[in-house]
Chains A and B, each alone.
Chain A
Amino acid sequence: MAVDTVELETTLRTSIPISHLEIIDQSNGCGENYAILVVSDAFEGKNTLARHRFVNELLKKQIAQMHAFSQKTFTPKQYETWLERQNAS
């Protein structure tokens, strides 16, 4: 069963302030393998483990329907640094 990405996005956006969001379908169309990239102020002061646990809990229902799920979480500042580094290399 394909995952409802609209619902996934809505769940995220209504729970935390999102400054940037990417939902990447890595499944070649079967809709069961997703990677997300989330940039939010809500991650400020939280370590990576806490962020992952938070997102996993929030998207529990959707993740249960997927075969594979991975996430990247950034604060807006970390995201900027990360982009700069990506562009530099």
Chain B
Amino acid sequence: MSALQNFHVVSSPVHFQELLSQDLSRISLINFWAPWAAPCAQMNEVVLELSRKYPELLVLQVEAEEQPDIAESFEVEAVPSFIILRGHTLLGRISGADASSLTSSIAAHLRPVSFVQAKSYSNAQPAPADTETPAQLEERLRGLMNRERVMLFMKGSPDAPRCGFSRKTVGILRDHGVQFGSFDILSDESVRQGLKVINNWPTFPQLIVNGEFVGGLDIIQEMIENGEFDEVVVGKAQ
């Protein structure tokens, strides 16, 4: 197997900038991945294949959690995520293990031909709830938050988390034998935005117990240290 000239594993923000700045007219594909996420393994293969097929494409592999500064600068909040650039100009982003979108986007940018690329979205959203009033949304959110005694609003699902914070939270709950329900906020934008507001908390995961917001990962970890976790989440007192 010969090494690919256009395929680079990024080791630091400086390294990243150097690679990107070498030729600002070049198209680059940045693959944000994590070793624990199964969909990434499969997409890494796709990316490797694209590197072989398009030698003119600059391919940058970024392990999202090893390079938080790079991931943050592209507002990457779940893996896998793909960013397509020309120099520093953003041409497209693809979220999730959507091999066909990725392949067709790369093809479109590298062979600028006259047909119009059909848009495809990786996360099929439920029909946008234009008709849902704020009151109806709140009622729906309260319903979701009370679906089980412990509810986790996370990115991805417990068996296929799409963010390290969500993954760690699932791990903690399982380690403590906590039974919980979960909801993938990446699948429903109104739930995602609505929960930020009613719980007055800007990030996910969000852990809910008995319908009440308890905290995110930092708080959960601290609750384990100060004893509150056993009391509130595990429910030993009951």
Using a CB–CB cutoff of 8 Å, the interface residues on chain A facing chain B are 47-49, 52, 70-74, 78, 81-82
Contact = CB atoms under 8 A, between A and B. Distances in A.
Contacts of B222: 48, 52, 71-73
Contact of A70 (B215, B218, B223, B225): B218
Nearest to A79: B226
A78 B218 CA distance: 17
A86 B215 CA distance: 24
User: Top 5 nearest A-B pairs by Cβ distance?
Assistant: A78-B226, A49-B215, A48-B223, A48-B219, A48-B222
A81 B215 CA distance: 22
B16 interface: no
Given A49-B215, A52-B218, 10 more contacts: A47-B228, A47-B232, A48-B219, A49-B214, A49-B219, A70-B218, A71-B222, A73-B226, A74-B226, A82-B226
A42 B215 CA distance: 20
A78 B227 contact: yes
B215 A52 contact: yes
B168 to A, nearest CB: 14
28 contacts: A47-B228, A47-B232, A48-B215, A48-B219, A48-B222, A48-B223, A48-B226, A48-B228, A49-B213, A49-B214, A49-B215, A49-B219, A52-B215, A52-B218, A52-B219, A52-B222, A70-B218, A71-B218, A71-B222, A72-B225, A73-B222, A73-B226, A74-B226, A78-B226, A78-B227, A81-B227, A82-B225, A82-B226
Nearest to A73: B222
Nearest to A69: B218
Interface of B: 213-215, 218-219, 222-223, 225-228, 232
Nearest to B215: A49
A82 B213 CA distance: 25
Among B213, B215, B219, B226: residue with most chain A CB under 10 A: B226
Contacts of B226: 48, 73-74, 78, 82
Contacts of A73: 222, 226
Contacts of A71: 218, 222
Nearest to A49: B215
A76 to B, nearest CB: 12
A71 B221 CA distance: 11
Residue of A47, A52, A82 with most partner-chain B CB within 10 A = A47
Nearest to B212: A49
A85 to B, nearest CB: 8
Between A52, A74, A82, the greatest number of chain B beta carbons within 10 A of the residue's beta carbon is seen for A52
Nearest to B228: A48
Contacts of A52: 215, 218-219, 222
